[in-house]
Amino acid sequence: MSGDSTRCVKAVAAENVPGSPMQRGPVFAAPYQLSADEGTESDTYARASNPGWRDLESALATLEGAAGALVVGSGMSAVTVVLRSLLTAGDTVVVPSDGYYQVRAYARERLEPMGITVHELRTADMAGEAAAALLASAEGTTVVVAETPANPSLDVVDLRAVSEQCANAGAVLVVDNTTATPLGQQPLELGADVVVASGTKTLSGHSDLLMGYIAASDADFLAGMERERALSGTVLGPFETWLAHRSLGTAGLRFERQCANALALAALLESHPAAHRVRYPGLPEDPAHAVAAGQMRRFGGLVSFEVDSAEQFHRLVAGSELLVPATSFGGIHTSADRRARWGDPVPDGFVRISCGIEDTEDLVADLEQALSAL
């Protein structure tokens, strides 16, 4: 049983106990009643552990093919918890120069002043000779953060190749799996040490919560990260935990439609004179397609392209009935984001579309008429 929807439903299924609900409701307690037999309790205070987290973490570990998972308050929290638990002064971190801009900002503004050396590499170069030379000369513990497909460039790194390079150099490979999701790609199976992701987006999928998670193939590897989560307090609230667990069961259905919509929109954009430099790893003509096809089961719901200006972007959104102007991605509504406004090093007319679950024919027709009005 390997279908995505089957995997998602089974991942959130409760133990079959007659008279119990099919899925647990929200667990709201913060302090739990203690036992006179001190130290025997599984739960004492919700910031350290609670039943809601365990249900969600079990489901996420199942989907990522991981030995264990930890949930945190946001995708950015997942990145910072991992880096803080692995790096100290004298160590080295490599981050993508074309990935999520806040990761670069965190590395430069927080890690570098702590005496951690920060390097930036383009996603397409992370498995190349320059990366190998950098790893060979790096001092201390080295952590490589790869985001694939990168947001918003949608370039792809060969995870088998970069994991081999990291293993040869004794470096830790952390892969941001937000864009691909575990339904599109299994980084741990491809050699990664740790997976981080924003569950705010496709997995929870309804644009109604903030969540992140960490997964690893070695459960012992998570111990330091679990301690960092507890000490930093970057935790997931009980209602968000329940919402995410509830939503996860339909992730396979939603992601299948989002990927189908993305491929259809990418094909339209490639042929339309108003759209330039279209990127989608699922297009055979895309420069990342060969690598993506070798490691991804699905190519995701994001498409990027350029129009001539910021003004054209706003006209595009205004001329559409279905495009919602919004940042973040992965929800049921198709959204469009002009990434230059957030500081990404992209042209003013760079557009990232996150495909929702609308009927494909309707979405294509809507975007086509909006483009034709530019």
CA distance 25 to 67: 25
341: annotated active-site residue: no
Please tell me what DSSP assigns to residue 132. H
Residue of 55, 155, 176, 337 with catalytic role: 176
Query: Tokens for 216?
Result: 């690893």
CA distance 44 to 29: 10
Q: Are 221 and 227 in contact (CB under 8 A)?
A: no
Please tell me what DSSP assigns to residue 222. G
CA distance 87 to 35: 37
CA distance 74 to 71: 8
CA distance 314 to 320: 10
176: annotated active-site residue: yes
Q: How far is residue 169 CA from its own chain's centroid?
A: 26
Residue of 24, 104, 201, 229 with catalytic role: 201
CA distance 64 to 67: 9
Query: Phi and psi dihedrals of 282, rounded to 5?
Result: -80, -10
Q: Which residue has the tokens 């329940």?
A: 242
Q: Residue 70's closest CA among 209, 215, 227?
A: 215
C-alpha pair distances (Å), 60 with each of 205, 302, 313, 320: 14, 22, 36, 36
Q: Which residue has the tokens 């004794």?
A: 170
Q: Is the bond preceding 284 in cis, omega lying within 30 degrees of 0?
A: no
Query: Tokens for 152?
Result: 């918003």
Query: Phi and psi dihedrals of 96, rounded to 5?
Result: -75, 135
Q: Residue 187's closest CA among 175, 198, 178?
A: 175
47: annotated active-site residue: yes
Straight-line distance from the first to the last Cα atom of the chain, in angstroms, rounded to the nearest whole number: 47
Residue of 32, 43, 45, 47 with catalytic role: 47
CA distance 39 to 314: 59
Residue of 4, 84, 100, 193 with catalytic role: 100
C-alpha pair distances (Å), 259 with each of 106, 209, 224, 262, 330: 31, 22, 36, 5, 11
- Point out the residues that are catalytic: 47, 100, 176, 201
